[in-house]
C-alpha cells in the first residue's frame, strides 16, 4: 500500500501499514516494501492544496531512506481506535487518518484508490527477449513463469528471439525454434530444463520485438550493435529495456554502458540486470539473488498533477538524465497511461521467483560496471589458480580487482555512481566472488594455464560457439585506458591483457601490484 501525503512543502512521508510490524517509508519515488498481501495504491490528498508535481521523481531509494527517521508517521492505527484494523474501504478510513495526532489539525484528508497510476489500466505489457543462450533461456524461463502469474501487468506469452540453427534430435535434423516450441526445451544451450509453454521461440528478430513494451537483451555484448540496427524502427516508441549483458562498449574515444548504448540507439530507456548468477543453477531453481538497476524516467511516473491529469499521454517529455548527469539528447516518449506503471515493484514482479531474489536500485552505473569489469578479474583469478598459486594470492587479485573497478567508476562516472552498490549489492562483491570461483571466465582461464594452451584455443574447443566476455572486455578497456595515458593506474587490468597477448608473464603480477602502490 502506498500513502502519498500531498501537502506543499511535505514532499516525503512515511506510512505504517495496518498489519505490519515495522514502518514502511515512502518518498518522492514510488517505493515500497514486499507486503504479505496485495492492496491497491492509495494517494492521500490534502483538501484544495495539492502538489502540482513531485520534484526529482527519480530520487534513489537510499536518499529516501536517509530522510525517513525525522519524519512523522502516517498510521492507520490511531490512539482513538484502540489499534483496530481499518481497511481502505472502511467508512472510517479517511476520518481515522485525518484525526491522527501527527497530522496538521487543519488537514482534511481524502483517499483516492489508484492502481499503478491509473484506475484499472486497460492494457498489459508485452515482453520480448532478445537472446537464447543458456543465460538468455534461463531468464526467459523465469519471466514466462511470472507473466503467467501476473496477468494484471503482463501479457502471458513471452517472445524469445532464437538465432535459427539446425540441431539433431533423436537422430533427425530439426530447426532449433521448432524443437523449443514442441519439446519446450532448448536442447543446445539449456538441455534437460523444462521451459514454460508460454515461452515462444521466434526465429524472426523483428517479429519478436513487434509491439513489445518491455525488451530484455541477453546476448554477448559484441553483437548488440548489429541487433540495435536491425530492430530500430520496428519497436514501440515507448518500449523500455533491461540489459542482462555483462559488458561495456569501448573505443579509444569513449566508454559506454550497454544499457545506455541500447537506449541511445533505440531512443528508449534501458536499465540493467546483473548479479552473482550462474545460469545452470538458476535454471535448476537453486536459490540466488540479483540486482536490477532501473532509474524510472520522470515521464513514466503516473503522478497526479495540479490539473488532475497524469503523465504518460504519449507525448515526448524531457528531463531524463543519463549516467553522467546530462539531460538525454532525445526526449523519451512516455509509457501511455493505459499501461500499468513500470515501477520497481512491477519490474521485480517480472523477474523475481521463489528461487531468484531481486534487489532494485537506481544506480545503473554501479550495476553495469560491476557486471562488466569483474570478468577481467575472473580471468586473472583463473590464471593464478591454474598456475598453482594459493588462495591468498587469489584473494589479493580479487581485492585489487574491486579497487580498480571502483577507481574506474570514480574516474569516468563521478556524477552518478554510488560506490555502495559495488560493496553491498549482488551486482558488486557477490558477482565478483562467484565469477572468480566458479563461473566461466575463471574456469576456462584456469583450464588454459593447466593445459598450457592459449585461452583462445580453450574458447574455440570448449564453448560450443559461445565467447568469453572477459577477453573482449579486457582488450577494449585496456585500449581505452592506454589512449588516456592512465593504463599504469590499473595494474591488474594491464596484466590480464598482457597475459592474453603473451606480452606479460603471469609471474609479473606481484611486481605490477607493488609498482602501483
Q: What is the DSSP string of 135-157?
A: HHHHHHHHHHHHHHH-TTTEEEE
The alpha-helical segments, DSSP class H, found in 387-507 are 391-412, 419-424, 431-435, 440-451, 455-462, 469-483, 491-500
Question: What pLDDT is attached to residue 119?
Answer: 56
Cα–Cα distance measured from residue 402 to residue 422, given in angstroms and rounded to the nearest whole number: 8
Q: CA-CA distance, 301 to 116, in Å (whole number)?
A: 9
Note the pLDDT of residue 12.
37
CB 242 within 8 A of CB 275: no
Give the residues across from 404 on adjacent strands: none
- Predicted confidence at residue 250, as pLDDT, reads 83
Half-sphere exposure of 170 (CA within 13 A, CB side): 2
For 277-363, where are the alpha helices, taking DSSP H only?
279-283, 344-351
Verify whether residue 183 is a known catalytic residue: no
Give dist(CA 378, CA 385) in Å, integer: 11
Instruction: Phi first, then psi: give them for residue 35, nearest 5 degrees.
Output: -100, 150
Active-site choice (126, 141, 374, 394): 374
What residues contact 474, with CB distance under 8 A and at least 6 apart?
375, 376, 379, 493, 496, 497, 500
- Per-residue model confidence (pLDDT) at position 254: 86
| Number of neighbours of residue 264 by Cβ within 10 angstroms | 17
Can you tell me the distance from the alpha carbon of 299 to that of 225, in angstroms, rounded to the nearest whole number?
27
Q: Which CATH number fits domain 125-288+347-355: 3.40.50.970, 3.40.50.720, 1.10.132.20, 1.20.210.10?
A: 3.40.50.720
Numbered ranges of CATH 3.40.50.720 in the chain: 125-288+347-355
pLDDT along the chain (517 residues), means of 10: 37 38 37 38 36 36 36 35 37 35 32 43 96 97 98 98 95 96 97 98 98 96 92 97 89 88 94 95 97 93 48 52 74 92 96 98 95 95 95 95 96 92 95 94 96 92 84 92 94 96 92 82
Task: Please report the pLDDT score of residue 206 as a whole number.
Answer: 98
Residues 6+ away with beta carbon under 8 Å from 326: none
Task: Return the bridge partners of 304, or none.
Answer: 310
Separation of alpha carbons 136 and 217, rounded Å: 8
Tell me the residue ranges of DSSP E strands in 276-383. Answer: 288-293, 356-361
Centre a 10 Å sphere on the Cβ of residue 182 and count the other Cβ atoms it contains: 11
Q: Which fold has domain 366-515?
A: 1.10.1040
pLDDT of residue 123: 96
Strands 41-46 and 73-75: unpaired
Residues of the chain with CATH 1.10.1040.10: 366-515
Treating both helix axes as pointing N-terminal to C-terminal, what angle do 364-386 and 391-412 enclose, rounded to 10 degrees? 150
The number of helices, as runs of H, and strands, as runs of E, in the chain is 18, 18
Of 356, 471, 464, nearest in space to 134 by CA: 464
pLDDT, residue 303, reads 56
- What's the Rg (C-alpha) of the chain? 25
H/E element, 204: none
CA distance 343 to 75: 24
42 with 114: CB under 8 angstroms? yes
Amino acid at each position: 500500500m502506498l500513502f502519498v501525503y500531498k501537502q506543499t512543502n511535505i514532499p516525503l512521508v512515511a506510512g505504517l501499514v495496518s498489519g505490519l510490524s515495522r514502518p514502511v517509508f515512502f518518498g518522492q519515488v514510488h517505493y515500497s516494501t514486499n507486503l504479505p498481501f496485495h492492496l491497491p495504491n492509495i494517494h492521500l490528498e490534502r483538501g484544495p492544496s495539492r502538489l502540482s508535481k513531485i520534484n526529482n521523481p527519480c530520487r534513489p531509494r537510499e536518499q529516501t531512506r536517509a530522510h525517513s527517521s525525522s519524519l512523522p508517521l502516517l498510521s492507520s492505527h490511531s490512539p482513538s481506535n484502540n489499534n483496530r484494523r481499518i481497511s481502505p474501504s472502511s467508512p472510517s478510513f479517511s476520518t481515522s487518518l485525518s484525526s491522527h495526532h501527527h497530522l496538521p489539525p487543519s488537514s482534511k484528508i481524502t483517499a483516492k484508490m489508484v492502481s499503478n497510476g491509473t484506475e484499472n489500466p486497460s492494457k498489459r505489457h508485452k515482453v520480448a527477449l532478445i537472446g537464447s543462450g543458456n543465460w538468455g533461456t534461463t531468464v526467459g524461463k523465469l519471466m514466462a513463469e511470472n507473466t503467467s502469474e501476473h496477468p494484471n501487468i503482463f501479457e502471458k506469452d513471452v517472445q524469445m528471439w532464437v538465432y535459427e540453427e539446425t540441431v539433431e534430435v533423436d537422430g533427425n535434423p530439426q530447426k532449433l525454434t521448432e524443437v523449443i516450441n514442441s519439446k519446450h526445451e532448448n536442447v543446445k544451450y539449456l538441455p534437460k530444463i523444462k521451459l514454460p509453454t508460454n515461452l515462444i521461440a521466434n526465429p524472426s528478430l523483428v517479429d519478436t520485438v513487434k509491439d513489445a513494451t518491455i525488451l530484455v537483451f541477453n546476448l554477448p555484448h559484441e553483437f548488440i550493435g548489429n541487433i540495435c540496427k536491425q530492430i530500430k524502427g520496428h519497436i514501440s516508441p515507448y518500449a523500455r529495456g533491461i540489459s542482462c549483458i555483462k559488458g561495456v562498449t569501448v573505443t579509444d574515444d569513449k566508454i559506454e554502458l550497454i544499457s545506455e548504448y541500447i537506449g541511445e540507439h533505440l531512443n528508449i530507456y534501458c536499465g540493467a540486470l546483473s548479479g552473482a548468477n550462474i545460469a545452470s543453477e538458476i535454471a535448476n531453481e537453486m536459490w540466488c539473488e540479483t540486482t536490477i538497476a532501473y532509474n524510472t524516467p520522470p515521464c513514466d511516473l503516473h503522478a497526479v498533477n495540479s490539473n488532475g491529469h497524469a503523465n504518460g499521454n504519449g507525448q515526448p517529455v524531457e528531463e531524463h538524465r543519463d549516467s553522467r548527469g546530462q539531460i538525454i539528447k532525445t526526449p523519451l516518449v512516455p509509457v501511455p497511461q493505459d499501461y500499468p506503471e513500470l515501477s520497481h515493484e512491477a519490474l521485480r514482479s517480472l523477474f523475481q521467483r521463489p528461487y531468484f531474489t531481486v534487489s532494485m536500485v537506481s544506480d545503473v552505473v554501479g550495476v553495469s560496471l560491476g557486471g562488466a569489469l569483474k570478468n577481467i578479474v575472473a580471468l586473472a583469478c583463473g590464471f593464478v589458480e591454474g598456475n598453482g598459486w594459493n588462495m591468498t594470492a587469489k584473494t589479493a587479485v580479487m581485492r585489487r580487482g574491486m579497487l580498480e573497478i571502483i577507481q574506474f567508476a570514480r574516474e569516468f562516472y563521478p556524477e552518478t555512481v554510488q560506490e555502495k552498490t559495488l560493496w553491498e549489492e549482488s551486482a558488486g562483491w557477490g558477482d565478483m566472488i562467484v565469477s572468480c570461483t566458479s563461473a566461466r571466465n575463471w574456469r576456462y582461464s584456469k583450464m588454459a594455464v593447466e593445459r598450457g594452451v592459449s585461452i583462445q584455443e580453450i574458447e574455440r574447443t570448449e564453448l560450443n560457439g559461445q565467447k568469453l566476455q572477459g577477453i573482449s572486455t579486457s582488450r577494449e578497456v585496456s585500449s581505452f585506458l592506454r589512449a588516456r595515458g592512465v593504463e599504469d593506474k590499473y595494474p591488474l587490468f594491464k596484466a590480464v591483457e598482457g597475459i592474453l597477448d603473451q606480452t606479460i608473464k603471469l609471474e609479473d603480477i606481484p611486481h605490477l601490484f607493488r609498482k602501483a602502490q
